[in-house]
Amino acid sequence: MRTSAEYLARLKGMRKNVHIGGEVVERDDPRLVPGTKVISMTFDYVDDPRFKDLLTASSHLTGQTINRFCHIHQSPEDLMKKQELTRLLCQRSGGCIQRCMGVDALNALSVVTFLTDMAHGTEYHQRFLDYLRKYQQNDWVANCAQTDVKGDRSKRPHEQADPDLYLRVIERHQDGIVVRGAKAHNTMAPYADEIIVLPTRFMGEKDKDYAVAFAVPADTEGLHLVCRSTTSRPRKKLKAPANELGVADSFSIFDDVFVPWERVFMCGEYDQAGYLAGLFAAYHRHSYTGCKPATTDVMMGATALVAEYNGIGKAPHVRDKLAEMITVAELVYAAGIAAAVKSQKAPSGTQVPDFVFVNAGRYHAGVNIYHEFETLAEIAGGLPATLPYEEDFLDPAVGPLLHKYIMRNPAVSAEDQHRLFRLISDMIVSAAGGVAQVAGVHGGGSPIMEKIALVLQYDMDAKKRLVKELAGIG
């Protein structure tokens, strides 16, 4: 297993294809550092006794101890450990741990390459296992690039005015393929080792060229990562862990990228595209049953603490709101546990979580995210929106007055009260807060997608039959 130092060192050596604000930058650009610090946690905690059992696994390929973010789940327990691990790490990152999408993509590919071979007599699964072996040995970090830019949402891939609005194969050669298109919302792509590309939806025969899955190094030729970085306003003196962490998302343009066959895992088998898309979604939604409760843990902790600082820690309306936050966090978490309990083994041996529970859990998280921000805002009051800048607190003239007047609970120091409100301000009155809200709705699939998935996958006929019986309908 790698150390975070090794991970960071490798990033430094990569080809410069990251664009931020009109510049092409190195991967240790200050706007990327907050993101690499988050990923580093997934390496650094391996030796922490609290995390060791969760953060490592035994490779089903080699029997070696690997980072769980490289592991193919073999049992319900594996799924539960991934879920718990995700919650604990996300608590410490104050949000998204970012590395889950790689393992989710690998697990989905492990299942579908096997099924595709069964259906088409192809050899994707062995090819995938060879790739996986390297992935585990190198302890890679991968972004999963799934969401196409999609053009007109009312049209299918082949119907778009510009055929490139979904990523597609434009050339097939003896040694590989050439792809063109763009994938959006690719979290941590600028500091990943690898980009794993999956189809975004069901495909029909006419969408054949769009049914493509593969992996490329993140600095491969022809790939442009146009990034937006989300970080907090840096602190002068009031350093805080949350303030050091952040994320960068990429709008990833595949401007005619060559992919050798040994890295191609689907190419034209359109009948499998939808299941691969859905299966990645299922694994990723299962990851959300770990990360979203962690987000809520931070929100509820902040709500409880600010209520205490404001002197209303025991007020009934605060208790009610905390209970609602607990309920959201734990129902989403319960959905992940139930998805593991009711999981099934795929023909490839990979453990697949229950689709209904992962969708129900992700949906519930998605429709509550804005309300959680609202709750914290309600209890914190207006100060997160109007808090003077840190520099004014350091100013010899007005600084002491600000410290005098920020006091609430006399048992807590002015600095600690200041620290808490600054954290909350960074959380809910910031671009980072906006990203968390939008990601809370759309990341891993929007609520409307989960509703559609739920109705498609649920045995509603059984429920209709039940009602017919009760009604005496023959």
Hey, which residues between 387 and 416 contact its own copies (CB under 8 A)? Answer: 387-389, 391-392, 394-395, 397-398, 401-402, 404-410, 416
In the complex, what is the shortest distance from the CB of residue 114 to its own copies, in angstroms, rounded to a whole number? 28
Q: Is 373 in the site for its own copies (CB under 8 A)?
A: yes
Q: Is 422 in the site for its own copies (CB under 8 A)?
A: yes
Hey, which residues between 310 and 369 contact its own copies (CB under 8 A)? Answer: 310-312, 315-317, 319-320, 322-324, 326-327, 330-331, 333-335, 337-339, 341-342, 356-357, 360-361, 363-364, 369
Taking CB under 8 A as the criterion, the residue among 202, 261, 275, 458 binding its own copies is 458
In the complex, what is the shortest distance from the CB of residue 164 to its own copies, in angstroms, rounded to a whole number? 7
Binding segment toward its own copies, per CB under 8 A, in 128-136, 198-206, 272-280, 429-437: 429-437
Taking CB under 8 A as the criterion, the residue among 91, 146, 220, 272 binding its own copies is 91
Q: Is 288 in the site for its own copies (CB under 8 A)?
A: no
Q: Is 434 in the site for its own copies (CB under 8 A)?
A: yes
Residue 363, token pair as written in the block? 């949906």
Query: x-or-dash pattern for its own copies, window 40-79, by CB under 8 A?
Result: ----------------------------------------
In the complex, what is the shortest distance from the CB of residue 186 to its own copies, in angstroms, rounded to a whole number? 8
In the complex, what is the shortest distance from the CB of residue 71 to its own copies, in angstroms, rounded to a whole number? 21
How many residues bind its own copies (CB under 8 A)? The answer is 148
CB 166 within 8 A of CB 181: yes
Q: Is 19 in the site for its own copies (CB under 8 A)?
A: yes
Query: x-or-dash pattern for its own copies, window 22-41, by CB under 8 A?
Result: xx------------------
CB 338 within 8 A of CB 286: no
Q: Is 16 in the site for its own copies (CB under 8 A)?
A: no
Task: Give the CA count within 13 Å in the CB-facing half-sphere of 30.
Answer: 3
